Structure 1
Amino acid sequence: MRCARSSGVEVRLERSIPAPALDAIRAPLLDAGAVLTDAPVLQPLGLLLDLAGEAMRSRLFVVSGEAGEEACLRPDFTVAVARQHFEGGGGAGRRRYEGKAFRVAPRGSDRAEEFLQLGVEAFETGDRVAADAEMAALAWASAVAGGREDLSLVLGDVSLFSAFVESLDLAPPLAARLTRSFAKPRQLKAELDGDVAAPTGEQSRIAALLAGLPEAEAASVLQELWSLAGIEPVGGRRPAEIARRLVEKADAAKAGRLDPAQADKVRAFLAVSDRPDAALSAIAALAGPKAEALNAVLDGWRARLAGMAQRGVALERATLAAAFGRAFGYYDGYLFEIRSASLGDERPVAAGGRYDGLPAKLGVATDTGAVGFMIRPARAYAGGGE
């Protein structure tokens, strides 16, 4: 491991790996039918924060753009490649990438990681379950090619939680609020504990104004209110994030709270973590009275697992964890991480998932789905220390 300094910031560089090992790790990606592409290193900070949430700010390497606007070095390639794909005409297609990504290390904002990342992003209209299985299989084959013998696969699904909540037949505002909290552990805990605060005074009136508006329009209205009042927000939070929080609090006032039995059901769901087939059975057993959507998602998972097994994924090393999620908030379907026991859970070798809603958030109208994965070769390589 080497460190370098740029503009007073210590940059942590990965240990290089031998060319034959990199070639072996890269080889499965070459069979994905994807076009090799690149994406700008500088990405708009505001866009990434709106997509991934303000919690990501501490992990982003913030710099000044060419025109003085705030930008950041790409923390990964998914958003950058999706933007490039759709700005170039969009439609169905696959993109493969290979290049450096940059993140601030968890220890503090004066340190940053620079690392090589390979991956594939697929924008297609076909069988989405089959595409999910293929992406996981490509990532698994690539990770195994690095030579580690301690790999495992963790699976999850944002849409599985949503379908489970729907099965409970809650009031629609409460179900929507609970679903939104899945990627926010503190907010989810507050929901389960019945500790959800409602807005008061001016907050309540503003929230009522914003409620029902599309997210982008709500953020625009809030920005206009600030401008008229001569207010400059502080603390780094963006209009979209603040508007979202106000609307969520407004929903809390009219949606009520989970009763103890409902909260226990959700806790039991979140506690499910087992071999995939056993986990699916456990979730099915917890279903509420309105289980049609949940049953459809479970059937999709059985087909996905069958496709993964057919493509060589070692499902005996897989765990389906109902509470598993990713830090990047634009993922809205199945998720996975490939981990090495020697590296630990916080340093995945590969990761990916489905993000069908991202094109719309980028302002693109398309009927293509979106799924992909990335792998970090220095972590996959058995001789590496990363």
Structure 2
Amino acid sequence: MIAAAASHATGSAVWADALLRSFAEAGYALTEPPVLQPAEPFLDLSGEDIRKSMYLTTDASGEELCLRPDLTIPVARAYLCSNRAGQPTGYSYLGPVFRYREGCASEFLQAGVESFGRLDRPAADAEMLALALQATQAFGLSDVEIRAGDVALFTTLIDALGLYPVWRRRLIKDFNRKVSLEQDIGRLAVATAATPNEYEGVLAALAGSDRKAALALVTDLMSIAGTSNVGGRTVAEIADRFLEQSTLKAGALPRDALAIIKRFLAIAGDPRAAIAQLRALANDCRLDIGSAIDTLESRVGFMADRGIDIANVRFSTAFGRGLDYYTGFEFEIHAKSSGLEPLVAGGRYDGLLQRLGSGAAIPAVGFSVWVEAFARIGNPAPSGRSS
């Protein structure tokens, strides 16, 4: 048993060496961020759900720290602290990450590439996908399937529909959480079909106004009514919850918006066919989403230029990866022989660096390689290719 474990570790090390050579030859220097990281960026940017799987501690000053559950945020923080911050720069990485996974080891290897500061976004997206496919070849695997989407398309659609802010926030936040998104769309259907209540006009007016002003008004009304604290919640917390839930119940959609959202989310298949369907949707419904579609089309063109078989890409407008910081292109690569878990996954996250403290938004895109996922599908050795 010990010999088998040692053999497995040695095999992973050989694969990892092949990966790092591949990334270095593509111009991505190796970086090694600290294992111990501030917990706040992960909780704020990856979604609160990640707390259940993180290993947390607190230092003497009271700061909450964690063993890094992922390497994208640590690499981004290292970039912002470097003398290259704000300039086009790429990094590769390989190291352990720590995350509770029922029935699996909590410490496992993660490799990957992050590209910062490139303004040619569609070309950079295509390069990341090409490097990700190159990574699968370093593991001796070529029979793979690419699953892809673009959260920017969904965001652009929601903006074009002119929804009230509360619904816009809710739907965009839930895009990467398929169960929540389906529930919200179901509630939209009920709300849209519901008989208007006697105070719907007031709620609609609040929903369409500045959120801070509406919240202040509701808070003042509750204070005048003598409400101070209910179930441990403050007046402000109660008012915020009331404002959101009341607006949701008010039916904050035009009658045709729900049908448009459903039609949009049903688009899937070959990327070029999806582009044609998206343009038809924009034309039929008079939606200003042409720029986002143009970006998708440009990305597909760069992918083809890099030799990626577009017919092997399964594009879906409903595809999302469950991380709050993604802002555009998202993808996963799966083995066709065992496609349940992704082998490589990544995407674009243009807003992350600003939320980590950058004075301005910096374009960013990258991917992670799940080294142990390759080992589990039983590839005996890496290929001889390193580029």
Report what 2:66 is aligned to. Answer: 72
| Residues 1:247 and 1:22: Cα distance change in structure 2 (over 3 Å) | farther
Q: Which runs of 5+ in 2 are unaligned?
A: 3-7, 192-202, 214-227, 381-387
CA contact (8 A) 2:109 2:370 kept: yes
Distance 1:96 1:40 in 2: 15
Residue-by-residue CA offset, 1:195-227 (whole Å, 9 max, x unaligned): 699xxxxxx9xx99x9349xxxxxxxxxxxxxx
1:49 aligned to 2:43? yes
**Residue aligning to 1:281:** 276
> CA RMSD of the aligned region, Å?
3.7
Does the alignment pair 1:360 with 2:348?
no
Partner of 1:265: 260
Partner deviation per Cα, 1:112-150 (whole Å, 9 max, x = no partner):
422211111111143111111111111111112212243
Please, which of 122, 132, 135 is the counterpart of residue 125 of structure 2? 132
Instruction: Rate the CA distance shift 1:24–1:125 in 2: closer, same or farther, 3 A.
Output: closer
Q: Determine the C-alpha separation between the residues in 1 that align with 2:302 and 2:348.
A: 16
2:261 and 2:122 mapped to 1: Cα distance? 25
Quick one: structure 1 residues 58 and 176, their matched pair in 2 at CA, closer, same or farther if it must change by over 3 Å?
closer
Q: Secondary structure at the match of 2:140?
A: coil
Counterpart Cα distance in 2 of 1:76 and 1:114: 11
- Residue type at the aligned position of 2:294: D
Matched, 1:298 2:293: yes
% identical aligned pairs: 36
Task: Confirm or deny: 8 A CA contact 1:16 1:378 kept in the other structure.
Answer: no
In 1: Cα distance, 2:242 partner to 2:352 partner: 21
Number of equivalent positions: 342
CA gap 1:251/1:286 in 2 versus in 1, 3 angstroms? farther
Are the aligned partners of 1:194 and 1:257 in contact in 2 as well (CA < 8 Å)?
no
Q: 1:251 to 1:94 in 2, by over 3 A?
A: farther
Please list, as runs of the form range in 1=range in 2, the aligned pairs for 1:1-386 lying within 5 A after superposition: 15-17=9-11, 19-65=13-59, 67=61, 69-89=63-83, 90-92=85-87, 93-106=89-102, 112-171=105-164, 174-194=167-187, 211-212=211-212, 246=241, 249=244, 252=247, 256-258=251-253, 261-287=256-282, 289-292=285-288, 294-345=289-340, 347-380=341-374, 383-384=378-379
- On the 8 A contact 1:337/1:351 being kept in 2, the answer is yes
Asked if the contact 1:173/1:254 (under 8 Å) is kept, the reply is: no
Cα distance between partner residues in 2 of 1:119 and 1:153: 17
Deviation at 1:39, TM superposition (A): 0.9
When normalised by structure 2's length, the TM-score is 0.76
Distance 1:83 1:193, change over 3 A: same
Tell me which amino acid in the other structure corresponds to 1:273. A
Moved more, 171-180 or 304-313: 171-180
Structure 2 residue matching 1:38: 3-state secondary structure = coil
Check the 8 A contact 2:354/2:361 in 1, yes or no. no
Name the larger-Rg structure: 2
CA contact (8 A) 1:192 1:258 kept: no
- Show CA shifts across 1:141-184 (max 9, x none): 11122122431111111101012223334456544443333233
**1:374 is aligned with what amino acid?**
S
Letter in 2 for 1:97: Y
Residue 138 to residue 149, structure 1, CA distance change in 2 (3 Å): closer
Q: Distance in 2 between matches of 1:139 and 1:116?
A: 16
- 280-289 or 112-121: bigger deviation: 280-289
**Alpha-carbon separation, structure 1, partners of 2:229 and 2:65:** 25
Letter in 2 for 1:123: F
Separation in 1 of the partners of 2:356 and 2:243? 22
Report the Cα offset of residue 97 of structure 1: 1.2
Q: Which digits, 9 at most, give the CA deviation of each residue in 1:260-305, with x for residues without a partner? A: 642222122222221111122222222364433x211111111111
Q: Describe the shift of the 1:232–1:153 C-alpha distance in structure 2 as closer, same or farther (beyond 3 A).
A: same
Q: Is the 8 A contact 2:158 2:168 kept in 1?
A: yes
Report how far residue 316 of structure 1 moved: 2.1
Moved beyond 6 Å, runs of 4+: 229-234
For the Cα contact (< 8 Å) 1:333–1:354, is it kept in 2? Answer: yes
Shift of 1:250: 6.5
The residue type paired with residue 361 of structure 1 is R
3-state SS of paired residue (1:194): helix
CA contact (8 A) 1:144 1:380 kept: no
CA distance in 1 between partners of 2:30 and 2:130 (Å):
19
Alignment TM-score, normalising by the size of structure 1: 0.76
Unpaired segments of 5 or more residues in structure 1?
Answer: 3-13, 198-203, 214-228
- On the 8 A contact 2:353/2:361 being kept in 1, the answer is no
Deviation at 1:68, TM superposition (A): 5.4
Structure 1: how far apart are the matches of 2:315 and 2:243? Answer: 29
Taking a change above 3 Å as real, the CA distance of residues 367 and 48 of structure 1, as seen in their structure-2 partners, is closer
Change (3 A) 1:61 1:271: farther
CA distance in 2 between counterparts of 1:376 and 1:188 reads 27
